[in-house]
Every structure is written in structure tokens, then in C-alpha cells.
């Protein structure tokens, strides 16, 4: 099967190098709608959906392969090999920041830099390490997901009240979000929030930007600080933002921090 179809790859923009955007748990490539266009003038921008999310090919979902972040990292490596000739700038949100890290550690020659938005190498507290959650919280999340199992299609659909300003956007989103299989969502949640890639963090040799929000329960400040210390080539940028999606709620502040980083790294 073609990787482009499997991961619903969308390529736009033009430029000497390629920037790959990877969405986090709960979303799909639509999450980049406000940030990616800022780079289309300077880069070839590549958006994709992880297998199991958005408009990816659900028949490619393999419960064994995607039972760890390594399965997703393998896909990222295949995708980068397929779409780019030189090393890429990889922009990963949330769990995808760690997927990018794993791919980069395995195949350093494919990556020029990593931009991590709201990353966390381990969500669960462990001794002195503060991840922000205990195991019980993750079970509570799985319950919440289960609670929205029955209404899955409808709560993702704006049809009832409508999205008057942007009806075409609404339809597109509804279509792609509705394709998310609740069983897959649950497994992805478990894989995401029970992952622990701290041992890999010191191995990342690419220059890295950590975009840390000031108020984010998913990736608290302590985690950003941990990464700044543990990553060999870390730049930490703090964004004044409530929530876990600065690329949606503060797209220009996010782009500014990225631009500074890219300029310093001459990318």
C-alpha cells in the first residue's frame, strides 16, 4: 500500500527543505490549519494522519504494531524516506514529538531539526520525575473516552448547531473525525499516556525546540524543564498560553518562536 494513502499525506508549499507536521492524540492533520500555512512560502510542507486517525487507511491499523510508539515511529521513517530527499524539519505535537524523537534517534540522517510542541517523554510521575499524572488519571481518561463511545460520531459533528462562519470546514472535519474508531482511540490513548521514552531523550543529536505552554496540564512546566536539561541540543521557548494546543490558540506566538529557532539553526 502506498504510504501517501496509508497516512493521508498532504503536500503543499515550496522551498529548499521540507517541514513535516505530525498531529497528537485526539486530532488529525487539521490541527495544523492555522500554523502550517505560515511555512508554505518557505518550505515544502507535509501534513499526514497517523494510522487510525483522521483520513488514514484504517485497514492498515495493526493492533500489535501500534501497541507502542515505535510502530508510529516506523511509519514516520517510511514517510520521510518517501516524501523528502534531504533531512526534514519535523514538527510534532504532543505524543508526536516523542514519535519524532524515536524516529530521529533511529535514523538521524533523515532529520535536520525537531520542533516539539507540548512534548512529554513520560506522563506518569515516577520517583523524582514529575510527569503530572498518576496511573489512575489515565484510567479515568479511558473511562471518559468510553463514555463518549456511543455519542462518538455526534459529538464530533457540528451539524446540529452548525458552524455558521465556516460551514465547509465543519463538513470536512466531521467527515474525518467521524472516521476515528473508538477502539483505536482507546489504544492510542493508552499507548500515548503510558509511554516512557526518557531513556531515548539523551540520544537525540538534532537541534531541538521545545515549545512549552505556561499553563498546560498535559505537559506541565516541570516536563519542559526536564527536557531542556535532558536533551543534548535543546532550546526551550515558553509560550503564554492556557491549554495544550498553542498552534491553535496562539499560532503567531508559536510561529515566532519557531522562526527564531529556525533562523538560529540556519534552516
Residues involved in catalysis: 94, 216, 244
120 near another protein (CB under 8 A): no
The residues, ordered by sequence, that sit 6+ positions from 18 with a Cβ below 8 Å of its Cβ are 43, 44, 45, 46, 83, 84, 86, 88, 89
151 near another protein (CB under 8 A): yes
- The residue within the footprint of another protein, chosen from 143, 178, 259, 264 (CB under 8 A), is 143
Task: State which of positions 187-216 bind another protein (CB under 8 A).
Answer: 193, 215-216
156 near another protein (CB under 8 A): yes
Burial, 160: exposed, middle or buried (Cβ in 10 Å; 0-12, 13-18, 19+)? Answer: exposed
HSE at residue 223, side-chain half, CA atoms within 13 A, is 31
137 near another protein (CB under 8 A): yes
244 near another protein (CB under 8 A): yes
Instruction: Give the ranges where the chain is alpha helix by DSSP (H).
Output: 3-6, 69-83, 95-106, 135-147, 152-155, 167-177, 182-193, 221-230, 246-249, 251-264
Q: How far apart are CA 164 and CA 157, in angstroms?
A: 13
Task: Select the span of 35-43, 50-58, 170-178, 224-232 touching another protein (CB under 8 A).
Answer: 170-178
Q: Do 57 and 31 meet the contact criterion of CB atoms below 8 Å apart?
A: no
Q: Which is nearer to another protein, 25 or 226 (CB)?
A: 25
> CB of residue 158 vs another protein: minimum separation in angstroms?
4
29 near another protein (CB under 8 A): no
φ, ψ for residue 262 (rounded to 5)? -65, -35
DSSP string, 63-132: TTGGGSHHHHHHHHHHHHHHH-SS-EEEEEETHHHHHHHHHHHH-GGGEEEEEEES--SB-B-BTTB--S
> CB of residue 133 vs another protein: minimum separation in angstroms?
7
Task: State which of positions 212-231 bind another protein (CB under 8 A).
Answer: 215-218
Q: Which is nearer to another protein, 104 or 241 (CB)?
A: 241
- The residue within the footprint of another protein, chosen from 112, 210, 248, 262 (CB under 8 A), is 248
- Cell numbers 516524501 label which residue? 83
252 near another protein (CB under 8 A): no
- The residue within the footprint of another protein, chosen from 62, 67, 82, 139 (CB under 8 A), is 139
Strand partners, 116: 92, 210
63 near another protein (CB under 8 A): no
146 near another protein (CB under 8 A): yes
- The residue within the footprint of another protein, chosen from 109, 127, 136, 263 (CB under 8 A), is 136
Q: Which is nearer to another protein, 126 or 146 (CB)?
A: 146
Binding site for another protein (CB under 8 A): 24-27, 30-31, 33, 94, 133, 136-151, 154-158, 160-166, 169-170, 173-174, 177, 193, 215-218, 242-245, 248-249
Amino acid at each position: 500500500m502506498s504510504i501517501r494513502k496509508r497516512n493521508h499525506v498532504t503536500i503543499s508549499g515550496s522551498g529548499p527543505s521540507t517541514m513535516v507536521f505530525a498531529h497528537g492524540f485526539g486530532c488529525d492533520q487539521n490541527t495544523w490549519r492555522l500554523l502550517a500555512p505560515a511555512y508554505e512560502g518557505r518550505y515544502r510542507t507535509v501534513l499526514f494522519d497517523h494510522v487510525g486517525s483522521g483520513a488514514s487507511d484504517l485497514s492498515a491499523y495493526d493492533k500489535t504494531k501500534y501497541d507502542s510508539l515505535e510502530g508510529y515511529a516506523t511509519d514516520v521513517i517510511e514517510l520521510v524516506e518517501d516524501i523528502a530527499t534531504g533531512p526534514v524539519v519535523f514538527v510534532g505535537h504532543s505524543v508526536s514529538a516523542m514519535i519524532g524523537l524515536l524516529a530521529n534517534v533511529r535514523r538521524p540522517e533523515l532529520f535536520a531539526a525537531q520542533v516539539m510542541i507540548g512534548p512529554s517523554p513520560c506522563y506518569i510521575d515516577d520517583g523524582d520525575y514529575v510527569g503530572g499524572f498518576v496511573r489512575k488519571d489515565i484510567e479515568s481518561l479511558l473511562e471518559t473516552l468510553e463514555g463518549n463511545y456511543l455519542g462518538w460520531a455526534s459529538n464530533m459533528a457540528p451539524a446540529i448547531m452548525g458552524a455558521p462562519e465556516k460551514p465547509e470546514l465543519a463538513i470536512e472535519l466531521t467527515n474525518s473525525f467521524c472516521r476515528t474508531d473508538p477502539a483505536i482511540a482507546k489504544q492510542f490513548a493508552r499507548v500515548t499516556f503510558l509511554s516512557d521514552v526518557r531513556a531515548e531523550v539523551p540520544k537525540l543529536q538534532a537541534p531541538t525546540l521545545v515549545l512549552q505552554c505556561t499553563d498546560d496540564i498535559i505537559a506541565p512546566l516541570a516536563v519542559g524543564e526536564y527536557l531542556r536539561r535532558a536533551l543534548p541540543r535543546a532550546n526551550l521557548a515558553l509560550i503564554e498560553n492556557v491549554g495544550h494546543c498553542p498552534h491553535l490558540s496562539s499560532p503567531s506566538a508559536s510561529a515566532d518562536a519557531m522562526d527564531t529557532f529556525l533562523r538560529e539553526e540556519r534552516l
